[in-house]
Structure 1
């Protein structure tokens, strides 16, 4: 496996990110499970890219993009993370490295004390990923999602 590198997403990533977002397995684990059309996605993407409180990263290996990590600032030093692997990258053991690369990028460019993750109760793989990455249960489940938290030194 080649080393992973994160970069900020751009408008040029719109169709790739939309394809990953509309993948059935991705939708199943999302808070919003409907199919998103291109116009709505472009509106969302431009809003994310323009926001100082959101970071959207594309994580790649030498062969190309393998996933995306988004961070939303909830409070000073507190971020919520969301991770999506490209459908063709699943099953390769990349999720932990993608998450770690996203966390590394964020901590080098922003103040980070706490990172939160909302994980669908039926998504055992995602829960295991965050737990292996140092996240612990932080609040009772609500609306079908568990909340995990990672505190950074």
Structure 2
């Protein structure tokens, strides 16, 4: 029997507490540009801005009706979008990162004229680097913040 596919849907304000719990997970914070704990009020302000921003796409990845992660895309200009992916703590180690990323990329391609996707990877995050490399991302110019920069050209 085939495992249920990963799909994505638009995030909503109803997802706020779930997304915040994933964001404040210690492993997620360790791999993030901003490693501090976020409070609910700050998170709600951020989420409302993201949900209404024309240059951002925030998706919740679903598998068998259960949220398993998020994919966010930020428009960097010149038809390039930066991707950020987070798996729910309970979904890690289950082979879901690649399907979550692929579903997000498909949604981005369907909604925009994106030519490329960029990924900023914490230098200590070998799992994330391996994910993006397996998905066809190649080393790009180094980021000023010490993160590795990877780039994938979309077809």
Q: Shorter-chain TM-score category? A: over 0.9
Q: Which residue of 1 is the match for residue 29 of structure 2?
A: 27
Mapping 1:4-153, distance limit 5 Å: 4-153=6-155
Relative to its length, the structure with more strand (as a share) is 1
After TM superposition, what 4+ stretches of structure 1 lie above 6 angstroms from structure 2?
A: none
Deviations 1:95-147 (A, max 9, x none): 00000000001101111101000000000000000000000000125333100
- Matched residues in 2 for 1:31 and 1:64: separation? 27
Equivalent position SS for 2:142: strand
Equivalent position SS for 1:34: coil
- Matched residues in 2 for 1:77 and 1:141: separation? 19
Q: Which runs of 5+ in 1 are unaligned?
A: none
Q: How much has 1:152 moved relative to structure 2?
A: 1.2
Q: TM-score, normalised by structure 1?
A: 0.97
Contact 1:76 1:111 in 2 (8 A): no
Contact 1:114 1:151 in 2 (8 A): yes
Contact 1:119 1:146 in 2 (8 A): yes
- Matched residues in 2 for 1:94 and 1:18: separation? 20
Give the count of matched residue pairs: 153
Q: How much has 1:63 moved relative to structure 2?
A: 4.2
- Matched residues in 1 for 2:142 and 2:7: separation? 34
